[in-house]
Every structure is written in structure tokens, then in C-alpha cells.
Structure 1
């Protein structure tokens, strides 16, 4: 965890100002940022594009991914850590948590989609609700997946269609969460 500017447990100096973090704390913070950089380097190219970071950091991470020599990579990772000291690591950590399935919102979303999948299997009328919610949904595909999943369950076969139904629902949900490309975003308006 990155050290906060002021910790209530730290002693204050004579003037009531908080003492600066110790050298050990600064080193722990730097190592934490460097570890975060290691996680960035381990991401796939597609995942890396989704991480909010300055272009200089993105370039340094891409460069580190290319390096194979141990010492060169170590120096590059130190450079990545140095660049990370000048940015807010929270958005990056939040995106990494999403990739790792650790964010509470992502877990809740997964559970919601699992419940929806169960509802689809229990009642075919739920398919109509899905099509109303996501107009781009392919009703026929969903119906086929439902039928196949029920058949697989009945015959004790591996749940291929069951999993595919979840993937389709997840893709629909992700597509709905992303803003349409033709609509201007709030930060583009001046």
C-alpha cells in the first residue's frame, strides 16, 4: 500500500507538522510501485491498452516487455517504477483488480450474470427481458444455447453451452457498459 501524506499514528514535530515518511517507508513505497509496474509488464497487449496511464509510462512498459536480458530488464523496471512515482497509482491498481477479478464491482457483476443465466435456464420468458435490455442480443442464439444447456444438464454432459451462455451474457453486459463510439463523451466537450 502506498504511504499516505499524513498518518494519524505518526508523531508530529514541535510545530505540529507531520514528520516526513522514513527512508524505509519511502523504499517500501518505491518497491510497491515497482511491483505494480511488474504487473503491468505481465499484462497482454490488449489488457495494457485498457489501463489508464500516461503515454511515457505506457512506452516504458512496452519497452520492458520487449527486453530479454536480465540486467536491461531490471534497469527498465526501475525506470518504470520511477515514472510511477509521479502518477496516481490508484486507477492503475483498480484496473488490475478488474483484470484479476478482485474488484467488488466485478465480482458483483459476475454474480448478477450467473443469476441471470440461471433464470434463463429456469424460464424461457427471461430471454425476452434480455432482448429488451440489450437490443443487440441475438434471441435465436440465446434460445439455442438455453436449449443445449438444458440438454447437457439432462444428459450429464460437460457444460459447454452453459458456459457459452454466460460468455454471451457477459459480452452483452460489457458492450452495454461501454459508451457508444459515435456519442461524444463528457470530457470531449468544451
Structure 2
């Protein structure tokens, strides 16, 4: 008896992943949208994105074109992007988009540190000096005292803002 169409029991079957035409179209449109986002970037931001030579040339061309030529160029960029890995490009774009949020989060953290510093007094100053050895303990102590006096006397918060600026400088030195 011959076993032409039967597999031996020890042979593993390969798993075939079927992708629908709609899903392939959706993926291509996503790549084209990613390309369109690249075209909208300014030159200095575009330089931070890892792109190959052909794709970069196509993006520069699309930035010059208008109307129908631009639409066709965007389709061409989408076609070029199918042959490369979009993950590093997507990661770089996410990083560019999130830059503002990161800066805002750092500023909020500095504000909270300043408030804790004023509340805790010398204990807060010690924590800052432990974290940043280059910090001027005497200057911080003086600013904290002034900020407390200003708050008690309902005066403008000049020392309060100075503490923030000083903490910001300490953070930038790192």
C-alpha cells in the first residue's frame, strides 16, 4: 500500500496564516498614513527619524508637490514603506509627538519638589542636597525662608519662583 497523500505521524504540520484582502488593504493604508505623517514633518524633525535613502528622497519630493502629484507620491511612499520595517519609524514619531508631554511632566515634578521643599524645610533641603551634591544648601535655605515669609505676608511669590528656577538649573546640569 502506498502512502502518497498521507503524512508520517512524526512530521509537524506547518501553520498557515491567512490574511484577508481587507486586512492587507488596511495595513497598506496605515503605512501610507505613516508616510503622510512623515511628509508633514519639518526638516530638523525628519532628520531624527531613521529612514533609508529612497524613502527620504520620496518624502522630500512629496513635500514639494501639490494636489494630484502629492497624492500619487504619497501612494508611492506607502509602497516603499511596505518593503521596510515601520517599527523604528513609528517609535521615532511617537517620541517626537511625546516630547511636549515629557517636558510638561518634568515641570510638574519640579513644582511638586518645590512645594515639598517649602513644606518640609531643612529635611527637604537635605533630600535635595543628597540627590544633587552640587546644590548650594545655603542658597536653598535662604530661598525657602523667603518663600515662607512671602506666603505669610501675602506678598508676591518671588522666592517661590526662584526656587523653581534653581531646581530647574540643577536638573539641567545633570
Same fold, TM-score > 0.5, yes or no: yes
Query: Which residue of structure 2 lines up, in the alignment, with residue 63 of structure 1?
Result: 61
Alignment pair present for 1:74 and 2:74: no
From 93, 97, 105, the counterpart of 2:90: 93
**Taking CA–CA contacts closer than 8 Å with sequence separation of 6 or more, which of the two structures ends up with the larger relative contact order?**
2
User: By percentage of residues, which structure has more helix?
Assistant: 2
* Inter-CA distance 129–42: structure 2 relative to 1 (3 Å threshold): farther
3-state SS of the aligned residue for 2:47? helix
From 113, 117, 123, the counterpart of 1:123: 117
Cα RMSD, aligned residues only: 4.2
* Inter-CA distance 172–64: structure 2 relative to 1 (3 Å threshold): farther
What does 1:170-185 correspond to in 2, within 5 Å?
Answer: 172=172
Which runs of 5 or more structure 2 residues have no equivalent in the other structure?
A: 1-12, 119-124
Separation in structure 1 between the aligned mates of residue 29 and residue 93 of structure 2, nearest angstrom: 17
* Inter-CA distance 18–73: structure 2 relative to 1 (3 Å threshold): same
3-state SS of the aligned residue for 2:57? helix
* Inter-CA distance 60–131: structure 2 relative to 1 (3 Å threshold): farther
Using structure 2 for the length normalisation, give the TM-score. Answer: 0.59
Query: Which residue of structure 2 lines up, in the alignment, with residue 50 of structure 1?
Result: 48
Asked whether the 8 Å contact 1:120–1:127 carries over to 2, the reply is no
Q: Per-residue displacement from partner, 1:42-79 (whole Å, max 9, x unpaired)?
A: 11212111112212212211221122x21110111011
Using structure 1 for the length normalisation, give the TM-score. Answer: 0.55
Separation in structure 2 between the aligned mates of residue 66 and residue 84 of structure 1, nearest angstrom: 19
Q: Per-residue displacement from partner, 1:150-186 (whole Å, max 9, x unpaired)?
A: 78x96489xxx69x95xx57x939xx6xxxxxxxxxx
Shift of 1:119: 0.8
Aligned residues: 141
The answer to which of 92-101 and 122-131 deviates more is: 122-131
**Rg: which structure is higher?**
2
Asked whether the 8 Å contact 1:57–1:80 carries over to 2, the reply is yes
